[in-house]
Amino acid sequence: MKRLIPLLLALLKFFIGYLLGSGAYELQRDEYLYLNMGHHLAWGFIEVPPLLAAQAWLTQALGGGYVWVKFWPFLWGALTIYLVARLTQKLGGGWFAVVLAGTCYLASGFARLNFLFQPNSFEVLAFTAVSYALVRYWQRPRPGYLYAAGVVLGLSLLNKYTTFFFLAAVLGAVLLTPHRRLLTTRPFWSAAALVLLLFLPNLIWQLRHGIPFLNHMSELHGTQLVHVSVADFWKDQLLMCFPAVWVWVPGLLALLLYRKFRPFRAVGWLYLLGLGILTVLHGKSYYALGYYPLLFAFGALWLERQLSRLRGARYVQPVVAALPVLIMLPLLPFVYPVLSPAPMQEFGARYRDLGMLRWEDGEDHALPQDYADMLGWQELADKTYAAWQALPAATRPRTLIVCANYGQAGAINYFNRNRLMPEAHSRNGSYLYWWPDLTALASFEHVILVDDEPDDDVPALFARYSRAGTIGNPYAREKGTAIGVGTGPGPAVLPRIRREHQAALAVWEGKKW
């Protein structure tokens, strides 16, 4: 039965997302972009490395439905909780420590993270797997653990570039402990070679495209990270894992001070260095989530040893093991989208002072940002399709659809994927690489413009121009986004589109045209 507990926790984690998702919401903005990457496989993209695109390709091959989109984050979350539970067992934990470590993961910010088709779920799994492999190596020095860590780190670099921060923290933690002698061994350098070998294709892609990653980080810092203060970052660390704070804090302290955990002290340093790097660089709060799962394991193990000294511990342990979930239940609507928008707005207002409604712009809004980013997309896609259908059938195929951002383009392409409709384009993000042949722009007779801030001079650029619709959902982040249809573009329109596309591409690739 003991060996079944990690598997049962993993199965619970996998299926709970399907059970608690609300039909009132659609996919999140970023998910549409990542799904579109599946149609444009490459060794790199502006936003992320290529691993997520491979998952998107398989998802699209299976029909692209909701179940398959969510399969990946649910799977990575299930594997993460399984590793946490198994490590707790490998460290000598009984059923109580294993279940407590698992409920800490179930009830913390990972529930929200593992709900979205984004690179973050695999990142947490990768950080946990690497830490797991290192702990097992320190228990029993077998080179296979280091090779496994090297493979996972390589895949993690193909998933998200924040892995570089984790890698720096791992090296720093090893150097600060007697494990520094590891750096002189052949297995360590063989593992490092595996990391480089796996990452090399994306590295070459970055170099060939002018290292767009640097511009992406600069844009993130200027538009989003600038709003992340040190105080807010650390406040969020407590909030994200609040149901388990009484477990991971003792776990961290035990790793640094408890004599029996001394062989694994580097895990404590890994947390301190990792979050120190993110603090200095003004990283987003959730970037730190990958550093917590092992703290749950060590904290649960330490608490188990302390409770075992109490008389009647067997009666107390079931309640304590369930405590993270019990603490989380009042905040469940923030963890899973179980409430439709109107009730969620009323519910969220009670927690405004905790920053639960604060968006990347630093302001409070009616809904959490992720929830607002899950609304209005089907409406946008249907109205865009209707606008295209209203065009003359003979000239309808010669329509260029241009969107202001990747969410709009991705949603239009996703919901219209089974309709005979031209692909939507954008000058935002990786859509710059999926632009139609610029030499063929002159053949377009219609241009559908989707923009949340349309220019007033646009109608004068066409022989005929009309507003086909706007997004009316009051809770959607895209509320008010307009769909305009221009027929007979003037001589300046298509050259202007070409210039704007080339200028945007030059910014990302660091080149001058």
Choose the final residue of a domain: 312, 335, 358.
335
Residues 200 and 153 in one domain: yes
- Three-state DSSP at 113 gives helix
Helix axes 293-307 and 66-90, enclosed angle (nearest 10): 40
State the total domains in the chain.
3
Compute the distance between CA of residue 308 and CA of residue 436 in angstroms, rounded to an integer.
67
Compute the distance between CA of residue 127 and CA of residue 391 in angstroms, rounded to an integer.
51
Greatest distance between any 2 Cα atoms in the chain = 86
Mean of all residue pLDDT scores within the chain = 91
| Of 414, 420, 391, 365, residue with least CA distance to 484 | 391
Average pLDDT over residues 314-326: 92
Average pLDDT over residues 201-224: 77
9 lies in a domain?
no
27 lies in a domain?
no
Residues 402 and 322 in one domain: no
Average pLDDT over residues 151-161: 97
Neighbours of 351 (CB within 10 A): 16
Compute the distance between CA of residue 425 and CA of residue 400 in angstroms, rounded to an integer.
8
Neighbours of 214 (CB within 10 A): 12
pLDDT value at position 226?
A: 56
Q: Which residues contact 416 (CB under 8 A, 6 or more apart)?
A: 381, 384, 385
Compute the distance between CA of residue 422 and CA of residue 433 in angstroms, rounded to an integer.
17
Residues 126 and 49 in one domain: yes
Least confident of 240-244, 312-316, 427-431: 312-316
Q: What is the pLDDT of residues 76-135, one digit of tens each?
A: 999 999 999 999 999 999 999 999 999 999 999 999 999 999 999 999 999 999 999 999
Residues 320 and 353 in one domain: no
**Rg of the chain on CA atoms, in Å:** 25
Residues 290 and 192 in one domain: yes
β-strand partners of 448: 401, 485
pLDDT value at position 513?
A: 31
| Of 47, 432, 434, residue with least CA distance to 202 | 47
Residues 140 and 228 in one domain: yes
CA 123 vs CA 119, 161, 289, 412: distances in Å: 6, 10, 9, 28
Residues 206 and 131 in one domain: yes
Compute the distance between CA of residue 489 and CA of residue 161 in angstroms, rounded to an integer.
41
358 lies in a domain?
yes
The boundaries of the domain holding residue 78 are 32-335
pLDDT value at position 438?
A: 67
Residues 307 and 350 in one domain: no
* pLDDT at residue 407 greater than cutoff 90: yes
100 lies in a domain?
yes
Stronger pLDDT, 310 or 374, i.e. the higher one: 374
Tokens 């899950």 locate to 374
Average pLDDT over residues 287-312: 93
Residues 206 and 325 in one domain: yes
Cut 0.85: pTM above it:
yes
| Of 164, 173, 179, 180, residue with least CA distance to 126 | 164
pLDDT value at position 218?
A: 66
- Three-state DSSP at 446 gives strand
Average pLDDT over residues 498-513: 72
Q: 462: alpha, beta or left, given left = phi > 0 and alpha = psi -120 to 50?
A: beta
Helix (H) or strand (E) holding 92: none
Confidence of residue 512 (pLDDT cuts 50, 70, 90): very low
Q: Are strands 424-426 and 399-403 parallel, antiparallel or unpaired?
A: parallel
Q: Which residues contact 131 (CB under 8 A, 6 or more apart)?
A: 267, 270, 293, 294
pLDDT value at position 126?
A: 98
Residues 175 and 124 in one domain: yes
441 lies in a domain?
yes
Q: Are strands 446-451 and 462-470 parallel, antiparallel or unpaired?
A: unpaired
501 lies in a domain?
yes
Confidence of residue 220 (pLDDT cuts 50, 70, 90): low
Average pLDDT over residues 47-74: 96
14 lies in a domain?
no
Residues 292 and 273 in one domain: yes
- Report the percentage of the chain scoring pLDDT > 70: 96
Choose the final residue of a domain: 325, 356, 372.
372
Q: What is the pLDDT of residues 229-245, one digit of tens each?
A: 888 889 889 989 999 99
* pLDDT at residue 504 greater than cutoff 90: no
Choose the final residue of a domain: 335, 358, 387.
335
Least confident of 22-26, 239-243, 290-294: 22-26
Residues 144 and 276 in one domain: yes
22 lies in a domain?
no
pLDDT value at position 379?
A: 96
